[in-house]
Amino acid sequence: MRNIHSKLPNVSTTIFTVMSKLASEHQAINLSQGFPNFGGDQHLINLVSNAMNNGYNQYAPMPGLLSLREVIVEKTNTLYKSNYHPESDITITSGATQAIFTIISAFVNTGDEVIIFKPAYDSYEPSIELFGGTVIPIQLLAPDYSIDWKEVARKITSKTKMIIINTPHNPTGTILSKQDMFQLEILLKDTDIILLSDEVYEHIIFNGQEHQSIARFPGLAERAFITASFGKTFHTTGWKMGYCLAPKDLMAEFRKVHQFNVFCSNHPMQQALAEYLKTPEHYLSLPDFYQEKRDLFLSLIKDSRFSYIPAAGTYFQLLEYAAITDEGDVAFAERLTKEHKIASIPVSVFNMNQQDDKVLRFCFAKTEDTLKRAAEILCSI
């Protein structure tokens, strides 16, 4: 046997891969991994193929195409009244996951502490550990998963290098408020703590609520990276295109790593996105588009035995099933997939010590027909 000292001895294949595979093996409706089962806009797809046919098939500039950076910065500065500069404060990345990994790798050293909120998107923790960082988890409590900022204050030490927040939040569908941001601003004032604000669902937010981007708060933006994903916004998760924003000095450090990590992201897609983003309707229509899906899904399952608080953002809905069974959520999610032919994600896998609140996550980025078939099954359980 070869003697391998794994850098991530406790990490196995991600739950998204596990559940999507199980769904496919059992021909179950797959509401587990977060991705739309409908296509992106044909116009955007045409723009990509035009870019390829027009010869944009070699490397893009390392930080990304300037025309794309310009249109993103204009969008961000208009929406959030921020002051980013296209030359120095933005880098186009191969999805948000790469941006998050690169940010962590550029700043986290052995012994540094990074505060994260659980349940958390599953890439944060192993990325921190790979670079010798210590994860300081704070468990948010069901059903409202709000942040107790006094607890955060207690967890901050002289070793705290970074805090990672995520709004709208995967997997809970909750959002942070202006008050949350003010509290965070007070906590971080007079520290050198870097903030990583994962905002990949910025345009998927409901009931007319405003997304509280870090970009709106100068006292936070001055120390923050914002990560974003075109996969979520334009129904193209398989393209793995995203970007990150940060002040010049932080971004300079990011690019030192980025240039050796991927060097640059996919060029024809950058050409296409630069053109497509000139029409704000393409992203401003997203809240209504997904709210309709959320509302349809919830109206169809309202008489089921699942209980829920409607998601405030993201394309995920948590359903609590304590009235149905006292099985653990992993076992129940597996049984639902195998016996009832519907796949979801057990939320305990994102919690501290696999805390099990009997909650499953369902992705409603699906066609009306799929949502109806899924709801029919859920009502029969």
SS3 call for 88 = coil
Integer Cα distance of 317 and 312 in angstroms: 9
- Residue 198 interacts with, from ligand GLN, ligand PMP, none (CB under 5-8 Å by kind): ligand PMP
Q: Which is nearer to ligand PMP, 45 or 381 (CB)?
A: 45
Residue 247 dihedral angles phi and psi, to the nearest 5°: -60, 155
What track of x and - describes contact with ligand GLN for positions 126 through 165 (by CB under 6 A)? ----------------------------------------
Residue 168 CB, nearest distance to ligand PMP (Å)? 9
Integer Cα distance of 242 and 271 in angstroms: 13
Residue 99 CB, nearest distance to ligand PMP (Å)? 8
SS3 call for 161 = strand
- Residue 33 interacts with, from ligand PMP, ligand GLN, none (CB under 5-8 Å by kind): ligand GLN
Q: Taking the CA of residue 151 as centre, how many other CA atoms within 13 Å lie in the half-sphere pointing to its CB?
A: 12
Residue 19 CB, nearest distance to ligand PMP (Å)? 13
Q: Is 16 in the site for ligand GLN (CB under 6 A)?
A: yes
Cross-strand bridge partners of residue 194: 162
Q: Which is nearer to ligand GLN, 170 or 351 (CB)?
A: 170
Residue 252 CB, nearest distance to ligand GLN (Å)? 28
**Between residue 331 and residue 360, which ones bind ligand GLN under the rule CB under 6 A?**
none
- Residue 95 interacts with, from ligand PMP, ligand GLN, none (CB under 5-8 Å by kind): ligand PMP
What number of residues does the chain have?
381
Near ligand GLN by CB under 6 A: residue from 23, 30, 33, 188: 33
- Position closest to ligand GLN via CB: 34
Integer Cα distance of 35 and 24 in angstroms: 15
Q: Are strands 242-245 and 90-93 parallel, antiparallel or unpaired?
A: antiparallel
Near ligand GLN by CB under 6 A: residue from 30, 98, 102, 170: 170
Q: Is 34 in the site for ligand GLN (CB under 6 A)?
A: yes
Q: Residue 21, exposed/middle/buried by CB under 10 A (0-12, 13-18, 19+)?
A: middle
Q: String of b and e for 252-273 (b: at least 16 CB within 10 Å)?
A: eebbebbeebbebbbbbbbbbb
Interface ranges with ligand GLN (CB under 6 A)? 14, 16, 33-34, 170
